[in-house]
Structure 1
């Protein structure tokens, strides 16, 4: 509760709907429930094609989508509306999990990526609720961490009815930690099933016209504390070659919007905030994307995309949206959350990975100085996505026997 209060101090959305955090869901569904858990924004986005498949195949069921973060909740409501019922997944306390499962009584649980909670999995197993770990990924670093938990990790991982792994390396790590080999399948990555709005490129072109069509524009997306100082330093260097360049800076967490704004002020940049309800200031050097749900639009309006969470050891964020939009991509050294995706993008020539923050300026110049490379890199990214689609169909083949 202290942590909720602390988070609520920075993001008021955490101060609401506390009963859900402790297992008291606000509904009783009349139909059988298929429960999907997607912890935050990225996982919700990845779950969309699966949820649409489930809704089409099982119209007599209610889809319950749980998240842990308010931003995940907002993303679910924006993209799915009344197609699903949404609530927060409770904290992994025995009584909270008991109330949640007693209230919802799901026929099947589908947990995305690597959400391993011992009380939740134990009580699902005790009640005979099959649970699938879908789009499952496990980095070498995370596998080492779970290995230190010994029997607890083995019990959790072996309790899954099925594990649908993103790739062979993920599957091998789950088996090494205790998953039964016959329950582990490689289905690919749901995040390749990306569906962008048909008019997104048109909207992006309109926004770019406001920024200045001829201005070289790069976006630093989903940045974390400790990264912006390097990004602003690189931007200052870039301005020596491109004085009219525009930096689009989008912090990962809403509670950091103001602190990033003040950092830009301290560095002497002219700033325009997306939240400002006025026309774009053409003299602005830094555009701060302090809004929710508009990151794809900002990608669409930019030339080059840097993926945040990768200059510091956070593990990076999903680079597939800019790839789908045909944008050249720059990655920091710490992209261990997306190892297989990064491998494919780099091999295809769709991205550049730098070794330190000092290399960022040169990577941006490498693209901006070579317009043909910008186009070639963007096309390569779109091809990688096209070649990897189909994970939701494979996953549905595993789910179907469990809902007969």
Structure 2
């Protein structure tokens, strides 16, 4: 039965290739990166074929996974400077981040291509062309044909920093004829938490260790963080940030901001709060996906609010009349999260106010920015629970309560200072996953 299911899956993936091309063409209209090197997705490459198996393949599907991969790869490259990397992605933002990562690592011979579409032919061409000797999959990416082909070629394939939510487990169990053989064919799984490990084991995956989350080992960009903190100190009002916001959430955030303003009969909407006595504040929105920057700017305008975009700032926002007169600041840049956290007094956690699983709160904690999160944090459930238990984050039921909680913090200096200290201690206590992962990989390398 497994063979029948896999055969049917492979046939559908082969027949679905024209649909993928159309999807890429549509997405490329908004994100031109999707139109780059499209043939790589089908196993056709401009890079010379490898004559020997020496590449270590790392798959980081999107932006978040690529940033996590950077933590591991920088440490790995420090240990083995001559190591050659093959880096693959599935999204345009991941590929762009990966390009910057390989430039920073500075090793000749590293290669970056798209993840092959999971049809038997594309996957076989990928392995035949590059001949990787080891595969590292970051966090969640399991594709049946990729795993099957790696196993057939006796190439070790390890899931690193593995996470599996209860929702993803349920979905995988619904496709058990495909998922169980795929997870079972992995060489090893290094899980983030014991809960993740238990869910992987239910799918038959060979869990070889529970090492924590690599994201705790990330060091915030010191220059960005210092710049943001300097800007914040120059402001006469606190900043409430909506970090990594997702579609649908910004509208609820802006509705609450307008409601707060109307309750105060304030004309510059952001510059008052409900009782009229608390400090005025600035709102900063940093969308999760860069292709939505223009959309979010338009949404702010639809709510009758004035927006100032980070891309328009020549220097400090304090020095810009446009920025200081705006109701909402829009963080429309990539790679500056440390600056935004440094600029902010409190951050609302994107993806947690809609059933999307939440975004990573670890960087906020490491930057000393307290977090207010909604009810949906299943993507980072243990980190969210630990942060809440240790006072680094607060959980609320819905957006209006989140804004009120943030306002409460910025107007209670002792409570804010305590939350900042708790966040930094939380981030520091949970470091070490990189060293444990490198030690486990030693046998493969």
Q: How does 1:112-131 map to 2 (within 5 A)?
A: 112-131=138-157
TM-score, with structure 2 as normaliser:
0.86
Gaps of 5+ in 1: none
Is 1:17 the counterpart of 2:76 in the alignment? no
Using the alignment, how far apart are the partners of 1:312 and 1:295 within structure 2? Answer: 21
1:4-403 matches, cutoff 5 A: 4-28=24-48, 32-81=54-103, 82-83=106-107, 84-180=110-206, 183-208=207-232, 213-236=235-258, 237=260, 239-241=272-274, 244-276=280-312, 279=320, 281=322, 282-403=324-445
Question: Aligned to 1:19, what secondary structure does the other structure show?
Answer: helix
Question: Which structure 2 residue ranges, 5 or more long, are not aligned?
Answer: 1-20, 262-271, 315-319
- Paired residues of 1:46 and 1:193 also in contact (CA < 8 A): no
Can you list the C-alpha shifts for 1:365-398, whole angstroms capped at 9, x where unaligned?
2211211211211111111111111111111122
Q: Deviation at 1:141?
A: 0.9
Question: Hey, what's the Cα distance between the residues in 2 that align with 1:61 and 1:26?
Answer: 22
Partner SS for 2:164: coil
Which string of whole-angstrom CA distances, capped at 9 and with x for unpartnered residues, describes residues 179-198 of structure 1? 24xx4311111111111223
1:220 CA drift (Å): 0.5
Q: Deviations over 1:336-392 (max 9, x none)?
A: 100010011001000011112231222112211211211211111111111111111
Q: 1:347, 1:144 → 2: CA distance?
A: 27
Whole-angstrom distance in 1 between the partners of 2:415 and 2:184: 47
Q: Supply the distance in 2 between the matched residues of 1:205 and 1:343 (Cα, whole angstroms).
A: 27
Q: Within 1, Cα distance between the matches of 2:302 and 2:279?
A: 19
Cα gap change, 1:397 to 1:331, in 2 (>3 Å): same
| Preserved contact between residue 237 and residue 279 of structure 2 (Cα < 8 Å) | no
- 1:153 touches 1:178 (CA, 8 Å); kept in 2? no
Deviation at 1:247, TM superposition (A): 0.8
The C-alpha deviation readout for 1:165-214, integer Å capped at 9, x for no partner, is: 0011111111111124xx431111111111122322321134436xx511
Question: Conserved in 2, the CA contact under 8 Å of 1:234 and 1:360?
Answer: no
Contact 2:279 2:411 in 1 (8 A): no
SS at match of 1:240: coil
1:277 and 1:352 map into 2 onto residues whose CA distance is 32
Partners in 2 of 1:339 and 1:18 — Cα distance?
36
SS in 2 for 1:91: coil
Tell me the distance in 2 between the aligned counterparts of 1:112 and 1:178.
18
Query: Does the CA-based 8 Å contact 1:33-1:104 persist in structure 2?
Result: yes
1:58 offset after TM fit, Å?
2.6
Q: For residues 435 and 367 of structure 2, what CA distance do their matches in structure 1 show?
A: 23
Shift of 1:277: 5.7
**Matched-pair contact (CA < 8 Å) for 2:224–2:336:** no
1:23/1:89 contact within 8 Å kept: no
CA contact (8 A) 2:65 2:138 kept: yes
CA RMSD of aligned residues (A): 1.8
TM-score (norm 1): 0.94
The answer to whether the 8 Å contact 2:221/2:338 transfers is: no
The separation in 2 between residues aligned to 1:280 and 1:293, in whole angstroms, is: 25
Larger-gyration structure (1/2): 2
* CA 1:189–1:233: 2 relative to 1, 3 Å: same
